[in-house]
Structure 1
Amino acid sequence: MKYNLLGKSDLSVSEVSFGCMSLGDDDAENKQLLHQALDKGINFFDTADLYAKGENERTVGKAFQGMRDQVYIATKVGNQWRPDGSGWDWNPRKEYILQAVDKSLQRLQTAYIDLYQLHGGTIDDPMDETIEAFELLQQQGKIRYFGISSIRPNVVREFVIRSSIVSVMMQYSLLDRRPEEAVLPLLQQHNIGVLARGSLAQGLLAGKPAKPYLNYVTDEVRKAAEAVSALAGESGNAAATAVRYVLQQPAITTAVLGIRTNEHLKDALAASTTTAPLADQAIQKLQAALPLNKYEQHR
């Protein structure tokens, strides 16, 4: 397993990491899968207070009880569940963040969070207030570092300018190359790590039947998937090839893969053990499979 420093932090994270959102409700099964991942070298585990109304954090915390120094735990804040449980509302206010972190710490059974992320955001948010909350939590020792989870270039740029974020989580894959235009170069320039999610494009690059995705029609998605499959060659592991495309981008620190089953973990580990980077010719073949897409909103 290869490890990369996350931006300006001292967190050396595995280049393939564990997206916990898809975990089920069986604590024992979750613990077994999480421990298998750790045994194989995955040391970064990403969750959120939103997932399963906090139960996702709880099961992760329970699995790693007594092993806190062996893992990096990232979670997110900003989506506040309504009292009746009917849904959630966006809340990036300082007062809410300072309350929410204590609940996350309790569910995770930890004294600190390695990476605390704003789970979304718009250009109209009270960003300075949000940043104040994160900086205060750092001073209090409740979080080590903070970042944001956003696909909005205008929001990302503002946080780069105003704050000391160490990371941005964003969707990135062969079927979503929008970050390549401006966001990835900006973050690389400022030494801010990128946590790439959606590397398999909802499984469309790993064998699922083609369907429209973003601005691509079904035939274009199928063509991209076929290019990935052809490059995978005899190994037949299209998922690993799709992830390697993401990891060849120098701005990417880790690919956060949703893992729910042993098969998912196997695919994730296959991507990490394929240490040789994709050749330039292979990258060009993949990119030639379909036209480049760009952000149309929030530029």
Structure 2
Amino acid sequence: MQYSKLGRSSLEVSKIGFGCMSLTGGTSENQLIIDQALDLGINYFDTADLYEHGENETKIGALLKSRRDQVILATKVGNQHRADGNGWDWNPSKKYILSAVEDSLKRLQTDYIDLYQLHGGTIEDPVDETIEAFEILKQQGKIRYYGISSIRPNVIREYVQRANIVSVMMQYSLLDRRPEEECLELLHDHNIGVVGRGSIAQGLLAGKPAAPYLNYSEAEVAQAAEVIRSITDQSSSSAQTAIRFVLQHQALDSAVMGIRTLAQLKDIAAAGDFPPLSNWEIELLIKAVPAAYYTAHR
């Protein structure tokens, strides 16, 4: 497994991260998958207090407890569940963040969170208040670093200019190259790490039947998948090629992948050992479909 320093932090994260939201098996099955992921060199595990009403944090906390010193644990905050259990509301306030972290620490069975991320964000948020909450948590030792999870260029710019974020999680794949227009270069120039999600576009780049995706038609999705297949040899898989496309960008430090089975784990983890794609392979891929641009939140 290859590793990368996450932005300006001291965190050495595996090029393949484990997206815990997809972990839906029984306890023994999940433990087997987590242990195998660690043995394969995956050290970055990403969850959120929103997932399964907090139960995902509880699950991953128990699964990682015995090997906590070997992992970089990331979770997210900002979506507050309603008291009646009917949905949630966006709440980036200082008061809520300082309260929510205590619940996450308990569920994760840990004294500290390696990377605490704002789970979204709007340009109307009280950004300075949000930043102050994260800085207080750093001073208290409850978190080591903080970042945001956002695809909104205007929000990302605000945090780049005003906060000590070390990372941004954003969707990025051959079928979603919107971050290339501005965000990836901006973050790289400021030594802020990028954690990619959606690298295989809901499986559409890894063998799932073609279907419309974002602004792409079914035919365009099929074309992108076919080009990926065309440069994938018999010793690798389409998923690995799609992940390598994401990781070839200099701004990307890790690709967080949803993993449900041991077979998926072994296939995906192997991509973290592959060399970069060649220039001609990258050129073929970027010509497969036209790049799109963000139309809102610019």
TM-score bin, normalised by smaller chain: over 0.9
The whole-number CA distance in structure 2 between the counterparts of 1:86 and 1:266 is 37
Specify the code of the residue in structure 2 equivalent to 1:292.
Answer: A
Report how far residue 292 of structure 1 moved: 1.1
Does the Cα contact within 8 Å between 1:31 and 1:60 map onto a contact in 2?
Answer: no
Name the residue aligned to 2:284.
285
Specify the code of the residue in structure 2 equivalent to 1:237.
Answer: S
Report how far residue 25 of structure 1 moved: 5.4
Does the Cα contact within 8 Å between 2:243 and 2:255 map onto a contact in 1?
Answer: yes
CA distances 1:36-59 after superposition (whole Å, capped 9, x unpaired)? 100110000000000001111111
Segment of structure 1 superposing worse, 265-274 or 31-40 = 265-274
CA distances 1:229-267 after superposition (whole Å, capped 9, x unpaired)? 111122350000000000000000000001111122022
The whole-number CA distance in structure 2 between the counterparts of 1:184 and 1:243 is 16
Specify the code of the residue in structure 2 equivalent to 1:58.
Answer: T
Does the Cα contact within 8 Å between 2:206 and 2:239 map onto a contact in 1?
Answer: yes
Does the Cα contact within 8 Å between 2:116 and 2:143 map onto a contact in 1?
Answer: yes
Name the residue aligned to 1:80.
80
Specify the code of the residue in structure 1 equivalent to 2:57.
Answer: E
Specify the code of the residue in structure 2 equivalent to 1:20.
Answer: C
CA distances 1:81-125 after superposition (whole Å, capped 9, x unpaired)? 111111111000000000100000000000000000000010000
The whole-number CA distance in structure 2 between the counterparts of 1:64 and 1:141 is 20
SS at match of 2:41: coil
The whole-number CA distance in structure 1 between the counterparts of 2:278 and 2:67 is 38
SS at match of 1:289: coil
Segment of structure 1 superposing worse, 228-237 or 102-111 = 228-237
TM-score normalised by L of structure 2 = 0.99
Name the residue aligned to 2:142.
142
Specify the code of the residue in structure 1 equivalent to 2:289.
Answer: L
Q: Tell me, yes or no, if structure 1 residue 204 matches structure 2 residue 193.
A: no
The whole-number CA distance in structure 2 between the counterparts of 1:8 and 1:163 is 13
Cα RMSD over matched residues?
A: 0.8
Matched ranges for 1:248-267 at <5 A: 248-267=248-267
Does the Cα contact within 8 Å between 1:114 and 1:143 map onto a contact in 2?
Answer: yes
Name the residue aligned to 2:123.
123
Report how far residue 269 of structure 1 moved: 1.4
Does the Cα contact within 8 Å between 2:196 and 2:246 map onto a contact in 1?
Answer: yes
The whole-number CA distance in structure 1 between the counterparts of 2:231 and 2:46 is 29
Q: Tell me, yes or no, if structure 1 residue 7 matches structure 2 residue 7.
A: yes
Name the residue aligned to 1:172.
172
Specify the code of the residue in structure 2 equivalent to 1:285.
Answer: L
Question: What runs of 5+ residues in structure 2 fail to find an aligned partner?
Answer: none
Does the Cα contact within 8 Å between 2:25 and 2:260 map onto a contact in 1?
Answer: no
SS at match of 1:123: coil
Does the Cα contact within 8 Å between 1:149 and 1:169 map onto a contact in 2?
Answer: yes
Name the residue aligned to 1:22.
22
Report how far residue 26 of structure 1 moved: 2.1
The whole-number CA distance in structure 1 between the counterparts of 2:40 and 2:86 is 39
TM-score normalised by L of structure 1 = 0.98
Matched ranges for 1:263-274 at <5 A: 263-274=263-274
